[in-house]
Amino acid sequence: MCIYPKTTAKLPVNFKNKRILKRLKIDQIEKSNKSEEAFKRLVRTIKYSTIKLMSLIIDWLFPRRCFGCGKGDKYLCNLCEEKLKNGALVRKDQFEGIISIYKYDGLIKKIVEKMKYEFVSDSINELAKLMDKKLKLNYPNIVEYWQKEKFVLMAIPLYKHRKNWRGFNQSEILAEKLADALNLKCKNNILFRNIETINQATIKNRQKRQKNIENVFAINSKEAITKKIILVDDVVTSGATMTAALKILKGSGVEFLWGLSLCGVLK
Ligand SMILES: [Zn+2]
């Protein structure tokens, strides 16, 4: 297909050259954008293939068993899943709402521990599927609203050393898997954690929790900011981490903010 208009032949030589150069420049930029996208796709494919391969090896070495009863071939069998207590939807600060799918209690507490500290990253896929199922079941109108308004999911980031040590951020994987299931976009590059903090779950005092998390987040890329965001975390206890992220995001132009967690204690 000819990319230059036929009229080019009648134009002065210099003008023609300028147009050709401009077109060549645009072609080059388009090509480099395309190759950058292809490279990112390749990195993503390698990342997920590696995770898949690792989980296949882990499955072979340690066959999958239910975290609750030790039976079956899933991390959470249907019987144990039914025993989990429902979480809640709460209004807090300037959040449109914070949804915790399950109550942070009993078995789910054990599951989160396993997921975080025993490196059972593959269990996150199952948990994301459960979250998707429960969201559509318990909050269909909210899911519909998120889809209609094109909300973007974003995980609460981990401090980079902690992420490197663990090899993954469970909330990032949850956000990515959930975004796929809900047919929404996921952007985990907006926010980063610039200070390492003590694990919020280990601090009992509410004020100390707030102090621990203040000013730990910073914006990574202002261009990536969208006006409608769903913040995803695995556990929400006092909500201090979510509120700290809210402050910086609201100050950077985010207008509508939801919180979403696998489990929590807010009510
Ligand atoms: Zn079970």
Q: Write down the pLDDT at residue 13.
A: 58
Which residues 6+ apart lie within 8 Å of 218 measured at CB? 191, 192, 193, 194, 248
How much of the chain exceeds pLDDT 90, in percent?
37
What is the token pair recorded at 63? 């066959």
Query: Lowest mean pLDDT: which of 61-75, 80-94, 107-121?
Result: 107-121
pLDDT digits (tens, 9 = 90+) for 102-152: 999 889 998 888 777 665 667 888 899 999 999 999 999 999 999 999 999
**Ligand 1 mean position, distance from CA 82 (Å):** 9
Greater model confidence, 163 or 29: 29
Binned at pLDDT 50, 70 and 90, residue 40 comes out as confident
Rounded to an integer, the average pLDDT of 86-98 is 93
**Could you tell me the distance, in angstroms and rounded to a whole number, from the CA of residue 232 to the centre of ligand 1?**
26
Check residue 2 and give its pLDDT: 45
Q: What does the angle CA 188 – CA 141 – CA 239 come to, to the nearest 5 degrees?
A: 45
Q: For residue 138, report the distance from its CA to the centre of ligand 1, in Å.
A: 22
Q: Strand 228-236 relative to strand 256-264: parallel, antiparallel, unpaired? A: parallel
User: Distance of CA 77 to CAs 69, 83, 86, 170, 267, Å?
Assistant: 8, 10, 17, 20, 27
- Ligand 1 center from residue 171 Cα (angstroms): 23
Using alpha carbons only, give the angle 20, 25, 31 rounded to the nearest 5 degrees.
Answer: 125
Residue 67: what residue type?
Answer: F
Is the pLDDT higher at 160 or at 2?
160
pLDDT bin (cut points 50, 70, 90) of residue 218 is confident
- The DSSP letter of residue 157 is P
CA geometry: angle 22, 26, 28, nearest 5 deg: 115
Match 């402050």 to its residue by tokens: 247
Q: With 50 as the cut, is the pLDDT of residue 8 above it?
A: no
What pLDDT score does 207 carry?
73
Q: How far apart are CA 36 and CA 224, in angstroms?
A: 17
pLDDT by residue (tens digit) across 190-212?
888 877 666 666 767 777 766 67
Are the beta carbons of 99 and 259 closer than 8 angstroms? yes
Domain architecture of the chain: domains with CATH: 1-62 (no CATH), 73-198+205-264 (3.40.50.2020)
Residue 57: per-residue pLDDT = 80
Give residue 73 CA to ligand 1 midpoint distance, Å: 9
Mean residue pLDDT across the chain: 83
**168 Cα–ligand 1 center, Å:** 26
98 strand-pairing partners: 90, 259
Quickly state the pLDDT bin for 224 (edges 50, 70, 90). Answer: confident
In the β-sheet with 152-155, what is the strand arrangement from edge to edge?
Answer: 89-90, 97-103, 256-264, 228-236, 152-155, 185-186
- Specify the higher pLDDT residue, 52 or 126: 126
What's the pLDDT at 1?
45
Nearest Cα to Cα of residue 97 among 138, 128, 157: 138
pLDDT digits (tens, 9 = 90+) for 16-32: 677 777 777 777 777 77
The answer to whether residues 89 and 266 touch, using CB atoms and an 8 Å cutoff, is no
pLDDT at 5 over 70: no
The pLDDT score that the predictor gives to residue 140 is 97
Q: How far is the CA of 80 from the centre of ligand 1 (A)?
A: 4
Q: Are strands 89-90 and 97-103 parallel, antiparallel or unpaired?
A: antiparallel
Q: Which residue has the higher pLDDT, 198 or 74?
A: 74
In whole angstroms, give the CA distance from residue 124 to residue 9. Answer: 61
Q: Which residues surround ligand 1, an ion (CB under 5 A)?
A: 66, 68-69, 77, 80
- The pairing of beta strand 191-193 with beta strand 217-219: antiparallel
Q: Which two tokens stand for residue 223?
A: 């261009």
Strand residues in 75-136 grouped as ranges (E): 89-90, 97-103
DSSP letter (8 states) at residue 252:
T
Q: Which residue has the higher pLDDT, 56 or 117?
A: 56
Task: Say whether pLDDT at 12 is over 50.
Answer: yes
